[in-house]
C-alpha cells in the first residue's frame, strides 16, 4: 500500500503529540512525522522548506489553541504563502473545541479539509490518510 511521505502535527500538548505520533506509527502508512509546538514554528518551517518538496508535509493536523501563534493565525499566514508551496497540504483542524463558532469558522476556510474533535482514534487517522488515496 502507498504511504504518506510526511505527516505534520502542530499542537502544544506533549501528550497529544506523543499519542498521535504513536497512532501514526502503528498504521504503518506514514514515512516521516514532524511535530511543532505552535503555529509560528510550523509556518516558519514551511517558508524555509518551500524549495524542498520532500520536506513539505502531505497532511497537517492543526490545533486551535496554542501559544505564540494559534491555529487560526497559522491559517491566515498559510493562505498567504500557499500559492508558493509546490504541493497541496491536506490540513485538518484537530481540537478539543466543540464550540459551534469554531466549527463554522473552520468550514469557511477553503484550506481546511476537515475538523476533528479530540481525542482522535487510529480509525480517524486511517480514514484521513486513506481518504487522500481515493
Alpha helices in 28-121 (DSSP H): 39-48, 71-81, 100-107
For residue 32, list its beta bridge partners: 6
4-121 CATH choice from 3.40.50.10800, 3.40.50.2300, 3.90.1150.10, 3.40.50.300: 3.40.50.2300
Answer yes or no: are the C-beta atoms of 33 and 5 closer than 8 Å: no
Domain boundaries, the chain: 4-121
Of 69, 38, 60, whose CA–CA distance to 112 is shortest? Answer: 60
Tens of each residue's pLDDT in the chain, 134 residues: 688 999 999 999 999 999 999 999 998 999 999 999 999 999 999 999 999 999 999 999 999 999 999 999 999 999 999 999 999 999 999 988 888 898 899 999 999 999 999 999 988 898 888 888 66
133's grid cell: 488515496
User: Given strand 59-62, what is the order of strands in its sheet?
Assistant: 30-36, 4-10, 59-62, 90-95, 112-117
Amino acid at each position: 500500500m502507498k504511504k504518506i511521505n510526511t505527516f505534520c502535527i502542530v499542537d502544544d500538548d506533549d501528550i497529544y503529540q506523543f499519542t498521535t505520533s504513536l497512532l501514526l506509527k502503528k498504521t504503518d502508512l506514514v514515512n516521516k512525522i514532524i511535530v511543532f509546538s505552535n503555529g509560528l514554528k510550523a509556518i516558519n518551517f514551511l517558508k524555509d522548506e518551500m524549495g524542498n518538496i520532500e520536506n513539505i508535509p502531505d497532511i497537517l493536523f492543526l490545533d486551535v489553541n496554542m501559544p505564540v501563534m494559534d491555529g487560526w493565525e497559522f491559517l491566515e499566514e498559510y493562505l498567504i504563502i500557499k500559492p508558493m508551496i509546490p504541493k497541496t497540504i491536506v490540513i485538518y483542524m484537530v481540537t478539543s473545541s466543540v464550540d459551534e463558532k469554531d466549527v463554522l469558522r473552520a468550514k469557511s476556510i477553503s484550506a481546511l479539509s476537515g475538523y476533528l474533535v479530540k481525542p482522535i482514534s487510529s480509525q480517524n487517522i486511517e480514514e484521513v490518510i486513506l481518504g487522500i488515496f481515493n
